[in-house]
């Protein structure tokens, strides 16, 4: 059932409206029933989550008799951004994921953020789906702030992703949806995958299996639980960065999510005008390339790759 979370008036008789699809068991809601929130579309240029929402809703609808909890699907927290293919909220020029938890007595964007928080309040789990930008391709991964690692890593290990990146705290994270939900007692996992403005179907199918598995563990879904891989758990000190030393066109020498040895060539930065190789980008460590440059135009300092160093798995 499509429900309106919040709606505010805009210019020229338009409205900024956030909707959700609430899927309930055929026999209705009972006391103590678990609820999971699937959230995406916070950034208008991140579309990987759109396929996930579609496929999850489709699977549940086909076997509604197996549903024993509540599934709330929020396909677009920033519908204006999706309409305009913009990361931020058009006209407001704000990053939607930097205004939480919001305020009911503040400006329009903060009011909407507060209403979203209120609607998700009391959920037993939330999965916040993001994509990369148009410049980088990301392997499916769960990103967790080190301050919440002890609580969230056990949940994250159920999320059929290739690895879990436990990253250092940063002040800006305090204004994200995930940080705000975790602060109010709603466990929220951030999944990042793919590339901006695109849908990578195999990544989407992988994540839907993840969500179904979590729903089974929570008692929300009575169907068969898909098998999940054992992810690598990594902290910041195990991630190596490769940056461009020159401006030009980046031509990769490797495939995404492949293993490289220390000193291996990641790619060349070339000059179309002169036919010269301006820089050869090499790995300083041995490990897995989980981020790789997708957009070929680069400048000195541009991120080319992130590499998950070998023997970095650890239990937290």
pLDDT per position as a tens digit, 44-76: 999 999 999 999 999 999 999 999 999 999 999
For residue 147, what pLDDT is reported? Answer: 85
- Of 160, 145, 166, 296, the closest CA to residue 228 belongs to 160
For residue 236, what pLDDT is reported? Answer: 63
Burial (CB count <10 Å: 0-12, 13-18, 19+), residue 41? buried
Does 315 score more than 50 pLDDT?
no
CA distance 94 to 110: 10
Strands annotated E in 106-258: 125-131, 136-145, 163-167, 188-194, 232-235, 239-243, 248-252
Lowest mean pLDDT across 21-30, 157-166, 242-251, 289-298: 157-166
pLDDT per position as a tens digit, 161-176: 788 988 876 545 789 9
pLDDT per position as a tens digit, 181-235: 999 999 999 999 999 999 999 999 999 998 999 999 999 999 998 887 778 888 7
Residue entry with tokens 């429900």: 3
Does 313 score more than 70 pLDDT?
no
Q: Are 231 and 316 in contact (CB under 8 A)?
A: no
Average confidence score pLDDT of the chain: 92
**Residue 291, CA atoms < 13 Å, CB-side half-sphere:** 23
């Amino acid at each position: 059932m499509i429900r309106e979370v919040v709606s505010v008036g805009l210019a020229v008789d338009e409205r900024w409206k956030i909707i959700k699809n609430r899927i309930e068991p055929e026999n209705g809601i009972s006391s103590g029933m678990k609820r999971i929130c699937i959230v995406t579309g916070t950034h208008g240029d991140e579309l990987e989550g759109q396929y996930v929402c579609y496929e999850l809703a489709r699977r549940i609808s086909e076997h509604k008799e197996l549903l024993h909890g509540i599934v709330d699907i929020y396909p677009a927290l920033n519908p204006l951004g999706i309409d305009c293919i913009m990361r931020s909220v058009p006209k407001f020029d704000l990053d939607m994921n930097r205004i939480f938890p919001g305020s009911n007595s503040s400006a329009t964007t903060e009011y909407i953020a507060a209403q979203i928080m209120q609607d998700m309040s009391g959920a037993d789990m939330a999965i916040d789906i993001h994509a990369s930008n148009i410049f980088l391709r990301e392997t499916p991964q769960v990103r967790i702030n080190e301050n919440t690692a002890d609580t969230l890593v056990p949940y994250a290990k159920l999320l059929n992703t290739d690895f879990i990146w436990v990253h250092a705290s940063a002040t800006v994270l305090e204004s994200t949806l995930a940080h705000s939900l975790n602060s109010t007692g709603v466990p929220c996992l951030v999944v990042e995958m793919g590339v901006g403005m695109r849908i990578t179907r195999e990544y989407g199918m992988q994540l839907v299996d993840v969500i179904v598995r979590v729903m089974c563990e929570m008692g929300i879904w009575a169907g068969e639980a898909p098998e999940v891989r054992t992810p690598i758990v990594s902290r910041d000190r195990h991630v190596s960065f490769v940056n461009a030393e020159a401006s030009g066109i980046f031509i990769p020498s490797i495939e995404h999510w492949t293993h490289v040895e220390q000193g291996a060539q990641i790619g060349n930065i070339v000059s179309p005008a002169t036919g010269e190789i301006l820089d050869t980008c090499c790995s300083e460590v041995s490990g897995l390339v989980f981020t790789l440059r997708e957009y070929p135009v680069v400048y000195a300092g541009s991120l080319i790759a992130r590499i998950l160093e070998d023997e970095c798995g650890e239990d937290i």
